[in-house]
Structure 1
Amino acid sequence: MRFKGALYRALNPIYAREPRSGRGAQLNGGRFNNRGVPALYTSLSILTAIREANQVGSLQPTTIVSYKAEVDRVFDSRDEAALAAYGMDAAALADITWRDQIKSSGEARTRAFARQLVKDDYHGLLERGFVHGSSPSDLNLVLWQWADEASSRLIVIDDENRLA
């Protein structure tokens, strides 16, 4: 599918000056990227972005960034048949034990799935948010490829140059 619209991130203020870097995910890894691989974890709503960035404990200082996005080759994980073709299902995507899987076997199913999507030239993954308080309408778009180019355009909305 092609995604065109607004995206939001709730960033740790440390990364606020580099809202397109993917550095936090690169340093730590995430559900859909290995450590060392940059990724942008974005949401389709501001509230979803805040929930995703503050999953544990109390609300921490957070910088909200919005983007205009036009991204080709997005895998829509709401398509059960497409997921099944990759040996995945909604329960596997939502599995909270992905960190435990890495500790026990060195690999999380979600990371292996994402790596295959990248090999298959997907630029991103549209997936449901699974954090506490999320509903099926809370969607995230994880990006592995983004640029200023038309096929993976991601433009930071910062008309007043506040992030400079």
Structure 2
Amino acid sequence: ANQVGTLQPTTLVAYQADIGPLLDGRDAAALRHFGIAPAELADPAWRDRMLSGKPVPTQDLAEAAIAQGYAGIVVPSYARGAPADALNLVLWDWDGRITLVDDDDRLGLRNN
């Protein structure tokens, strides 16, 4: 919940999700189909490239994958200190696919 700094108040929530299809960013062959190598997913210079008006391979990948109907991609975590098996889910299209689970109305959203 907190990666840096002092512990802040935290609310954990549950979601129900119906998301797919997902591109497997761990699969080199699947990435090759989009003209990108696994190492390019971890490129720390993507923001500099974007700000300087240069093409960003990961953004090109996202646009091509969206055009082919993918809702998101599963990728390894590139966070410093993350275990080798840690994963991230990056979603491009989640509208209507994710709903908050609050069966006991603990968040008080039913009264709003």
TM-score when normalising by structure 1: 0.56
Runs of 4+ in structure 1 displaced over 6 angstroms?
A: none
Q: Please, which runs of 5 or more residues in structure 2 have no aligned partner?
A: none
* Code of the aligned partner of 2:102: D
Structure whose residues are more often strand by fraction? 1
Please list, as runs of the form range in 1=range in 2, the aligned pairs for 1:13-162 lying within 5 A after superposition: 50=1, 54=3, 57-58=4-5, 61=8, 63-148=11-96, 153-161=97-105, 162=107
Looking at CA atoms only, which structure, 1 or 2, has the larger radius of gyration? 2
User: Which 10-residue stretch deviates more, 99-108 or 75-84?
Assistant: 99-108
SS at match of 1:105: coil
Query: Given the superposition, is the C-alpha separation of residues 157 and 104 from structure 1 closer, same or farther in structure 2, using an over 3 Å criterion?
Result: same
SS at match of 2:26: coil
* Code of the aligned partner of 1:83: L
Q: Say what the alpha-carbon RMSD is for the aligned residues.
A: 2.2
Deviations 1:24-49 (A, max 9, x none): xxxxxxxxxxxxxxxxxxxxxxxxxx
Residues matched between the structures, number: 107
Distance in 1, Cα, partners of 2:59 & 2:78: 16
Give the CA deviation at 1:66. 2.7
Give the CA deviation at 1:60. 6.8
Structure whose residues are more often helix by fraction? 1
Give the CA deviation at 1:136. 2.6
